[in-house]
Amino acid sequence: MNSLPLSELMAADRQHVWHPYTAMPNDLPMFAVKSAQGVYLELEDGRRLIDGVSSWWTCIHGYNHPRLNQAAQEQMGKMAHVMFGGLTHQPAVQLAQKLVEMTPAPLQNVFFSDSGSVSVEVAMKLAVQYWHNRSKPGKHKFLTIRKGYHGDTFATMSVCDPVGGMHHLFGDRLAPQFFADAPQIPFHGTWDDSDIASFEQLLIAHHDEIAAAIFEPIVQNAGGMRFYHPEYLRRAKQLCEDHGVLLILDEIATGFGRSGELFACSHAGISPDIMCVGKALTGGFMSLAATLTTTHISETFAQGEAGVFMHGPTFMGNPLACAVSLANLALLESYDWQGTVRKIEMQLRNELEPCRSLAAVKDVRVLGAIGVVELHEAVDMAIVQPMFVEQGIWLRPFGKLIYTMPPYIIQTKELRRLTQGICQVASQITLKSPD
């Protein structure tokens, strides 16, 4: 493939390519990547940027890792893809075994899909069809918590925050769900039962309509990068059991060590009925996600009206993605990832804390390999994004949030350059004058 000159490349991009969360034509600054290695992105103009968001939280071992490349190359020599209907293969079976081994014990069955949003769609369909199989078709709604985010497809949009989220424009087209108040007690705060009261009241009043409760454990990610108390999760689990409602945990962003535990639900010592994983599953190599559930739930489907689970993505169980995922998880288990994440957490705490004194900053918070600087006002991406590039770092703020989720392989000096860049840019942001 012949490369386009940079000016021609950017002109064609502007004319034809629709990027996420943009309009056409796209007026936001755009930066063309030529290659990537380790924690660095090399731009077409020769600049090198430290990627502080792991390509939307996926590349936990950085770019172009030789072990992941080798796994892909070996699998491509056999087959890149084969349909999963009526056929199976080594990478998918072994990956399912590995996921069952890594996740909490009751989770025994794995349904593969192409993306995180689809894995949540699968989880929601599983819950609805499960109750239908048990002759309770009235249980088809969902209970969730405000400030959450679960994806951009229609079912997932219905359980995202209905007001402050990204999908309020579609509100009158989405299935109505039940929304409890978002947890307010922070991760290291002092627990008070009032924090779970809204969730409990809705569950008591509507459990006969609710198929499952669904939320992100411990870390509300794209809905605000908020870290809440593990006791909330423990209480929610018990309430779901008491009232005959399934619990779905969306571990797409938090899975595979990001919060300091392998899965965020481990902070609370609980297991869900259904779990969604994705993002870091392949180490950012390509798209793959999975929905895990219990034998109790899966065994109801043969006895239901349909006799099967009514879902089947075309690229389900893609051998190439599964092979790379196996290599990625083996790589994660080959070193002290938990110690590595603790080290990143300590450095983020120490080096982001000075931001707290800045006029534009409302809060600074850190959990595991997640660092957040929350501003008083939303950032102007057209201004702020180039400021980070000038610092030699790649971050993608949204709303009022400047955050970093660096690759686990990041070194101390590289992480310091990230944190210094965040502080430098935050110090240059001025609050708007009141009208």
399 Cβ contact list (under 8 Å, min separation 6): 224, 378, 379
Within a domain: residue 43? no
Which residue of the set 21, 193, 336, 413 is catalytic? Answer: 21
Which ranges of the chain have pLDDT less than 70? 165-168, 433-435
Co-location of 211 and 305 in the same domain? yes
Helix (H, G, I), strand (E, B) or coil at 234: helix
Co-location of 351 and 306 in the same domain? no
Q: From CA 424, how far away is CA 361, in angstroms rounded?
A: 12
Co-location of 320 and 396 in the same domain? no
In terms of residue numbers, what domain contains 394? 337-363+387-403+418-435
At 122 the pLDDT is 97
Co-location of 136 and 279 in the same domain? yes
At 237 the pLDDT is 98
Q: From edge to edge, which strands make up the β-sheet containing 361-367?
A: 361-367, 370-375, 401-404
At 405 the pLDDT is 98
Q: Are the CB atoms for 216 and 148 separated by under 8 Å?
A: yes
Co-location of 353 and 253 in the same domain? no
CATH number where 156 lies: 3.40.640.10
Number of domains in the chain: 2
Q: Is 279 a catalytic residue?
A: yes
Which residue of the set 130, 149, 232, 408 is catalytic? Answer: 149
Distance between start and end Cα atoms, the chain: 54
Co-location of 391 and 302 in the same domain? no
DSSP E strand boundaries for 232-358? 246-250, 274-277, 289-294
> Which of 333, 350, 372 corresponds to the end of one domain?
333
Within a domain: residue 173? yes
At 1 the pLDDT is 77
Co-location of 168 and 277 in the same domain? yes
Within a domain: residue 194? yes
Co-location of 234 and 343 in the same domain? no
Q: Considering the entire predicted model, what is its pTM?
A: 0.95
Within a domain: residue 139? yes
Within a domain: residue 380? no
Counting Cβ atoms within 10 Å, is residue 130 exposed (0-12), middle (13-18) or buried (19+)?
A: buried
At 433 the pLDDT is 55
Q: From CA 335, how far away is CA 283, in angstroms rounded?
A: 15
> Which of 289, 316, 333 corresponds to the end of one domain?
333
Write out the two tokens for 433: 């004058």
Q: Is 250 a catalytic residue?
A: yes
Co-location of 399 and 326 in the same domain? no
Co-location of 157 and 100 in the same domain? yes
Closest CA to 366 of 343, 346, 338: 346
Q: From CA 231, how far away is CA 241, in angstroms rounded?
A: 15
Within a domain: residue 39? no
Q: From CA 122, how far away is CA 308, in angstroms rounded?
A: 13
Within a domain: residue 323? yes
Co-location of 356 and 307 in the same domain? no
Q: Is 51 a catalytic residue?
A: no
Co-location of 273 and 353 in the same domain? no
Which residue of the set 139, 141, 147, 279 is catalytic? Answer: 279
Q: Are the CB atoms for 372 and 403 separated by under 8 Å?
A: yes
Residues 319-375 pLDDT 10s: 999 999 999 999 999 999 999 999 999 999 999 999 999 999 999 999 999 999 999
Give the Cβ contact number of residue 336 at 10 Å.
9
Q: From CA 273, how far away is CA 431, in angstroms rounded?
A: 45
Within a domain: residue 35? no
Q: Helices in 77-196 by DSSP H: which ranges?
A: 90-102, 116-133, 154-157
Which residue of the set 114, 195, 250, 273 is catalytic? Answer: 250
